[in-house]
Structure formats: structure tokens, C-alpha cells
């Protein structure tokens, strides 16, 4: 140690300090002066990149291609609104399993987009049809329900004088062509009968209040009880009605007693249907 100290001079110490400063400072200087031209091609590997060091701002437009995207990496959260256009969807790519319940509403279906060949057999049932969706023009053998006249309890008859019977929903608009039929059921309670005869209720119908030979069907409900009025239901056989097809039509009804009736009779209900064929 004594010999080493004897060899040190001022020049040796200064030169040693200068060398240390030059090496340390030069390295710091060099670290701040390295640019892309000083990095060899392929010189930076994945292991040289810090985790999450590459941000979206460092990616060039078009730098990420389909083979850089892992399977399942892009889901609905990564898709912007309107990002997928018809040109991006392959033929047959979207099937029933890709659609969530209620995803396709009526406003998503273009007019005429669904034809007969797109519908599975039995796919359309009565629950899928809107009110009035099927008209006679859509039917191979046109049949349409055009009216539902009905009435309730309240009409009381005594004797042969006709008593009007009120019908609700008794108007309908005939189509340009066709034949209108009236069918249905009538429930009434004829009065008790005399010993030698029976009591009947005759129900008559008319178009627009015109009772006459053109349309005067009579439905008779008879009572054979000598002690009480018994309710009876009669099915009305189909009756063809002649209507003015240029304007709405209304069905009216009246009832009267026929035979030997002991007391008043009552209409309890009437449920009719107007069916247009043609």
C-alpha cells in the first residue's frame, strides 16, 4: 500500500476521474441520441417491449390484419354502431340461432322480403295473423265473416203482433261480388200451452227494415209444456239475403207468438253470423 501511494501523482488521479466521467456521461448521452435508423431490422423483439407499451396511437392505419386477431377476440362490445354492413355478412351467415328472441320486428322486414319459399311448412298459424289480414281475395275459395249480429234478453211478446228485437253489430259492408248468408242460434222461452195446442215463437228477419216476401224466413220455437215456459234453442239454417252491394247493409229482426199461448213469451238471446261467399 505504501508503494502504491508513492506512485500516485496529481496527473494520475485527475486522469482517472476524467475517464470515469467520460464513460458515465457518454452512456447517458448515447441513450438519448438513439433513433430508429440506429436500430437494426428485426432488432426489437417482443421480449424487448414492456407490457402494454404499444398503444393504439402507435399503430399505423391498416397495420392490424385478420390473421393478427385471435379467434373470438372481437365481440359485440368492440363493434361500433352501424359497423357491420350487408356486404360484410356472408351468405347464410345469419341463421335463426344467431337471432335473439324479438330481434327482428315488422319494421326490420322490407316489403316483399318474405316469400312463400322462406316460410317453413306450418310456420303461419291463426295466432300469427292480424285482424282482417286475410280477405276473400287471398282465399282460393273466398269465404269471409262480414257481420256478427247479436242480442240479449228483453223482448217480450204477446199475441200475433210482431215485436222488434234489437240486434247489436248488425251492419256490414258487402263486397262487390258474393252471396251473403245468415246463420246462428236463437234461444227463447215460449209461454205455456193450452191443452189442445202448442205455443210457438216465430222470428222474422229483414234487410234494412224491409220485412216482406223477398226475405221473410220464420224460425219457430215450440213449447209443449202445460205448466211453465221452457227455454229452447233453435239453430237457424243458412238463409241467403239479397243486399245492395253498393252500400252498407243492416239486419233487423222481430218476433211474435203463434198458436195457443197462455201468457207472454220471451226471446233470451240471439247469436248470428253473416258469411259472404264468392
For residue range 93-112, list pLDDT tens digits in order.
787 777 777 778 778 788 87
pLDDT of residue 63: 80
What sign for the dihedral angle of Cα 90, 96, 101, 102? positive
Domains of the chain: 144-277 (2.60.120.40)
Residue 212 vs residue 202, higher pLDDT: 202
Mean pLDDT within 15-29: 53
262 neighbors 194 (Cβ within 8 angstroms) = yes
Residue 265 vs residue 212, higher pLDDT: 265
For residue range 148-183, list pLDDT tens digits in order.
999 988 778 888 888 999 999 999 988 877 888 899
Alpha-carbon separation of residue 217 from 54, 156, 207, 229 (angstroms): 93, 20, 12, 24
User: Does the pLDDT at position 266 exceed 80?
Assistant: yes
Mean pLDDT within 235-258: 86
Q: How many angstroms separate the CA atoms of 218 and 204, rounded?
A: 5
Burial 52-83, CB ≥16 within 10 A → b, else e = eeeeeeeeeeeeeeeeeeeeeeeeeeeeeeee
pLDDT of residue 271: 95
Q: How high is the mean pLDDT of the chain?
A: 78
- The number of beta carbons lying within 10 Å of the beta carbon of residue 220 is 14
Alpha-carbon separation of residue 276 from 174, 225, 237, 249 (angstroms): 8, 39, 15, 13
User: Does the pLDDT at position 15 exceed 80?
Assistant: no
For residue range 37-67, list pLDDT tens digits in order.
777 777 788 787 888 878 877 888 878 887 8
Percentage of the chain beyond pLDDT 70 is 83
182 neighbors 145 (Cβ within 8 angstroms) = no
List, in order, residues 6 or more apart from 193 with CB less than 8 Å away: 199, 223, 224, 225, 226, 259, 260, 261, 262
Pick from 18-22, 73-77, 271-275: least confident: 18-22
For residue range 206-216, list pLDDT tens digits in order.
888 777 654 44
Amino acid at each position: 500500500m505504501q508503494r502504491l501511494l508513492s506512485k500516485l501523482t496529481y496527473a494520475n488521479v485527475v486522469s482517472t476521474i476524467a475517464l470515469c466521467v467520460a464513460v458515465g456521461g457518454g452512456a447517458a448521452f448515447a441513450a438519448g441520441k438513439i433513433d430508429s435508423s440506429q436500430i437494426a431490422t428485426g432488432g426489437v423483439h417482443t421480449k424487448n417491449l414492456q407490457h402494454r407499451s404499444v398503444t393504439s396511437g402507435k399503430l399505423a392505419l391498416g397495420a392490424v390484419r385478420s390473421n393478427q386477431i385471435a379467434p373470438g377476440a372481437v365481440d359485440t362490445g368492440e363493434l361500433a354502431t352501424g359497423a357491420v354492413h350487408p356486404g360484410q355478412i356472408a351468405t347464410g351467415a345469419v341463421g335463426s340461432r344467431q337471432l335473439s328472441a324479438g330481434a327482428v320486428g315488422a319494421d326490420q322486414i322490407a316489403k316483399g322480403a318474405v316469400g312463400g319459399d322462406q316460410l317453413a311448412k306450418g310456420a303461419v298459424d291463426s295466432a300469427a295473423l292480424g285482424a282482417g289480414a286475410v280477405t276473400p281475395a287471398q282465399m282460393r275459395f273466398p269465404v269471409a265473416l262480414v257481420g256478427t249480429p247479436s242480442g240479449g234478453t228483453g223482448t217480450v211478446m204477446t199475441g200475433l203482433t210482431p215485436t222488434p228485437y234489437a240486434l247489436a253489430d248488425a251492419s256490414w259492408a258487402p263486397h262487390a261480388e258474393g252471396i251473403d248468408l245468415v246463420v246462428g242460434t236463437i234461444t227463447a222461452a215460449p209461454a205455456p200451452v193450452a191443452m189442445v195446442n202448442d205455443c210457438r215463437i216465430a222470428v222474422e228477419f229483414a234487410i234494412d227494415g224491409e220485412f216482406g216476401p223477398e226475405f221473410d224466413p220464420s224460425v219457430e220455437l215450440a213449447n209443449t209444456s202445460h205448466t211453465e215456459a221452457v227455454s229452447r234453442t233453435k239453430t237457424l239454417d243458412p238463409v241467403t239475403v239479397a243486399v245492395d252491394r253498393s252500400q252498407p247493409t243492416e239486419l233487423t229482426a222481430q218476433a211474435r207468438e203463434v198458436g195457443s199461448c197462455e201468457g207472454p213469451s220471451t226471446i233470451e238471446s240471439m247469436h248470428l253470423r253473416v258469411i259472404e261467399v264468392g
